[in-house]
Amino acid sequence: MAINDNQNTRFIYVRSTKEKIPCTEQQFQDFYRMAGAVRKKEQYHHRCKCPKQFFWACDGDCENCEHHLGYGTLSLDAPNTDDDSTLLDTELTETVSMEEVYADRALLEQLFQRLQELDPDADRIIKLWSENDKISDRSIAEALGRKQRTFADQMKRIRTELRKVRGY
């Protein structure tokens, strides 16, 4: 009879005191449901890096846990993964400088100005391009009331001229 009683007894592990406390099945379920909810919330917010093999030891006491990364804002040198890499170890992507944005904008204005010099319907072509950047030359020719082959030849000549403006 003592063997069956021992198998039915549940324990709650308290990490801070490193002891097992006997409890009822209902107490066991309630405690680990609460601890699991706390752990999942902390993991969702990237404040807990507890490895899966130690989930059984989680008691929901995050302030005293060695796997907890802290509340609020993390330090850049705090480990954020299992391999202890930090935010300082990550490489930043290159950003576009404002000078490049202004240069691109000026080039675009130059290209539009040259297009207006080469084609009298340039404003309509630019409007069609701005509404749909994947519009075909055939669709533009139909909108302008031109023959498709004639318009394609004109666009080939215009694109050659615009490449000269770009420096290709």
pLDDT tens string 105-159:
998 888 888 888 988 888 898 888 888 888 888 999 999 999 999 888 988 998 8
Q: Identify whether the C-beta of residue 20 lies closer than 8 Å to the C-beta of residue 12.
A: yes
Among residues of the chain, what percentage have pLDDT more than 90?
Answer: 7
The pLDDT tens digits for 8-28 are 788 888 887 888 889 999 988
Distance between CA 62 and CA 48 in Å, rounded?
8
How much is the pTM?
0.40
pLDDT of residue 147: 92
Q: Identify whether the C-beta of residue 70 lies closer than 8 Å to the C-beta of residue 78.
A: yes
Which segments of the chain does DSSP mark as H helices, in order? 2-8, 25-44, 98-118, 122-131, 137-144, 148-166
Distance between CA 2 and CA 21 in Å, rounded?
18
Does residue 23 sit in helix, strand or coil? strand
pLDDT of residue 22: 92
